[in-house]
Amino acid sequence: MTPLQRYIAEEIATDHLDGLLTRREALRRLGLLGIGAAAAGALIAACGETKQAAPASPPAPTGGAAPETAPPPGVQSALPTSEVRWAGPGGELRGAWAAAPEPKGAVLVIHENKGLTDHIRSVAGRFAGIGYSALAIDLLSARGGTSAFADQAAATAALSRIEPPEFIADLRSGIDEVQRRVPGRKVAAVGFCMGGGLVWRLLAAGTPALAAAVPFYGPAPDDPDFGGSRDAAVLAFYGALDQRVNASEPVARAALEKAGMVHELITEPGANHAFFNDTGDRYDAAAAADAWRRIQDWFATHLT
């Protein structure tokens, strides 16, 4: 099992343990990853033991918290996206493009392990709404695109079978496309979940074109070297309840310090994995609003 497959498998197991998936559905999704029933049961049990051993999270702050009924951050000013295609290293790539009228900078948005969803398209539109043209890439382009799959579980399984070099090549092509569309402006990469992990991998692969990088609750690779991306200012987000991903935070921090990079790593109190996804069960309005405010401040400093 590759690191990405294991990460996705553990996420499915954790979703079941948190009551977001029935055991039957979790076993079905693990089966799509090629994990048999016995191995799947053992994985779920192991994740359960890890959760029980995890330390308690500090309570969420009460002052200034966004009400749960407030619109998701950035939605009210979001601009529409349109489908775009361009020639990638292994064939045609697809994405959702949102153009800011007078862009201050540009953003490559990297989706979760569900593929290019309407939520991720909305995120691209939100960045355009605050002045940063954005391209949300579809990393399943070579497999017909996310929409070609019967459901998100099938899309997730397909993503788990893609090797990191293909991801990195496609993401670098996405950065090139962003630079072509917004010439002369600085570029950032923002990723969520699996996409957050891919932001870390872009930094480890050496991506000098990035002026800023924002990984949301993404696992860092083992022993990364960010020296080839030292000009990128990194703002990383974690949820305090997300023990599985948080275990890699010290690795990322040490690598950033070793490379001498500008960085800030934020752990949102009381928030869980995927707290920014307002279409998911773990959405946390206060944490999402705080992250959105911090991103705007970060981009104003490092991307404009």
Amino acid residing at 229: S
Query: Per-residue pLDDT tens for 227-275?
Result: 999 999 999 999 999 999 999 999 999 999 999 999 999 999 999 999 9
- If one counts every other C-beta atom within 10 angstroms of the C-beta of residue 39, the result is 13
Strand 91-98 relative to strand 82-88, pairing: antiparallel
| pLDDT tens digit at each of 304 positions of the chain | 888 899 999 999 999 999 999 999 999 999 999 999 999 999 999 998 876 765 544 444 434 445 557 899 999 999 999 999 999 999 999 999 999 999 999 999 999 999 999 999 999 999 999 999 999 999 999 999 999 999 999 999 999 999 999 999 999 999 999 999 999 999 999 999 999 999 999 999 999 999 999 999 999 999 999 999 999 999 999 999 999 999 999 999 999 999 999 999 999 999 999 999 999 999 999 999 999 999 999 999 999 9
Of residues 170, 188, 174, 213, the one with CA closest to residue 130? 188
Q: DSSP characters for the chain?
A: --HHHHHHHHHHHHHHHTTSS-HHHHHHHHHHTT--HHHHHHHHHHHHHHHHHSPPPPPPP-TTPPPTTSPPTTGGGPPP-EEEEEEETTEEEEEEEE--SS-SEEEEEE--TT-S-HHHHHHHHHHHHTTEEEEEEETTGGGT-GGGSSSHHHHHHHHHTS-HHHHHHHHHHHHHHHHHHSTTS-EEEEEETHHHHHHHHHHHH--TTEEEEEEES-PPPSS---GGGTT-EEEEEEETT-HHHHTTHHHHHHHHHHHT--EEEEEETT--TTTT-TTSTT--HHHHHHHHHHHHHHHHHHT-
Of residues 245, 196, 200, 199, the one with CA closest to residue 221? 200
Provide Rg for the chain, Cα atoms: 18
Can you tell me which residue has the tokens 């009381």?
270
